[in-house]
């Protein structure tokens, strides 16, 4: 029997997502179906899939899955994309409060080139042998590099699978800091590849730049897919609040996916 489902495709600085409107529908997908839809040869192609669901007490719930088909932790670019999607559906106007895998979030839709997303507070930053580790809604290890004379994918995969990070693994951010707008390169677990941008990784990198390089808020970071800006307040050592991630989120196309 042929199965079909309507979808939208959005991206936030090149980090792309399939988004499905499940606000008034009971949308259920298996791990294998999500893998197939996200496949860049045999499916639509995306770094992840998000189902917008109805949730009492919030404007909506962000049900997020990585391209491996498994439920993901917080995704900052995906968060901005679903805010843009909710705005385009007419569910929200300027401000919103929604729930994601890591808890409640606020966001402001200015326009598609500027969406501000409030992230979770960060109160613990660990200095590891390879870099600075923290959870910004998802776990990240941030490493400073002078040049990118190595393969991000292979090096990132090696670190992601390091025994220190156990079965869950970690996302890995490589940052070149010695310029006005630091460069960021990201290997994402769940995608198991380099992505064009990473929102939670941009936050982790900005906080590391403040911790180790004394860079002040706001910090702009240039990823492969565009520029992300991170705002924050510092309350003390490894204690950051009022963290906002700002950047674009744009619709690429819409369609109907068929799967036999």
Q: Within its chain, how far is the Cα of 149 from the centroid? A: 25
Among 38, 75, 81, 153, the one annotated catalytic:
75
Among 38, 81, 153, 198, the one annotated catalytic:
198
- Cα atoms found within 13 Å of the Cα of residue 80, Cβ hemisphere only: 33
Q: Is 38 tagged catalytic?
A: no
How far, in Å, are 42, 102, 257 from residue 63 at the CA level? 23, 11, 19
- For residues 200 and 100, give the distance between their C-alpha atoms in angstroms, rounded to a whole number: 13
Q: Is 198 tagged catalytic?
A: yes
Kindly state the greatest CA–CA separation across the chain.
59
Q: H or E stretch including 37?
A: helix 31-38
Token readout for 119 is 């992230």
Hey, which bits of the chain come out as E strands?
3-12, 15-22, 48-53, 61-66, 95-100, 103-111, 114-118, 125-127, 132-135, 139-144, 171-176, 183-188, 193-195, 219-223, 226-236, 239-247, 250-259
Token readout for 170 is 């970690």
User: Where in the sequence numbering do the catalytic residues fall?
Assistant: 75, 198
């Amino acid at each position: 029997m042929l199965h079909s489902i309507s979808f939208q495709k959005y991206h936030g600085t090149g980090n792309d997502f399939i988004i499905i409107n499940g606000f008034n529908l009971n949308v259920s997908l298996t791990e294998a179906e999500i893998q197939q839809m996200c496949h860049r040869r045999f499916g639509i192609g995306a770094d992840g899939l998000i189902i917008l669901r109805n949730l009492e007490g919030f404007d909506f719930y962000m049900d997020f899955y990585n391209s491996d088909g498994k439920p993901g932790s917080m995704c900052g670019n995906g968060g901005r994309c679903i805010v843009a999607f909710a705005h385009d559906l007419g569910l929200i106007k300027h401000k919103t409060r929604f729930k994601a895998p890591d808890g409640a979030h606020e966001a402001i839709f200015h326009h598609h080139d500027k969406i501000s997303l409030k992230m979770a507070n960060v109160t613990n930053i660990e200095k590891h042998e390879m870099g600075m580790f923290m959870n910004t809604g998802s776990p990240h290890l941030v490493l400073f590099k002078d040049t990118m004379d190595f393969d991000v994918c292979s090096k990132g995969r090696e670190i992601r699978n390091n025994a220190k990070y156990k079965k869950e693994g970690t996302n890995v951010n490589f940052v070149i800091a010695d310029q006005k707008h630091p460069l960021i390169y990201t290997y994402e677990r769940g995608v198991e590849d380099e992505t064009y941008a990473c929102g939670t990784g941009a936050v982790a990198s900005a906080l590391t730049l403040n911790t180790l390089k004394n860079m002040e808020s706001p910090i702009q970071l240039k990823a492969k897919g565009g520029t992300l800006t991170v705002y924050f307040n510092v309350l003390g050592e490894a204690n950051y609040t009022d963290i906002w991630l700002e950047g674009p989120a744009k619709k690429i196309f819409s369609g109907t996916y068929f799967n036999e």
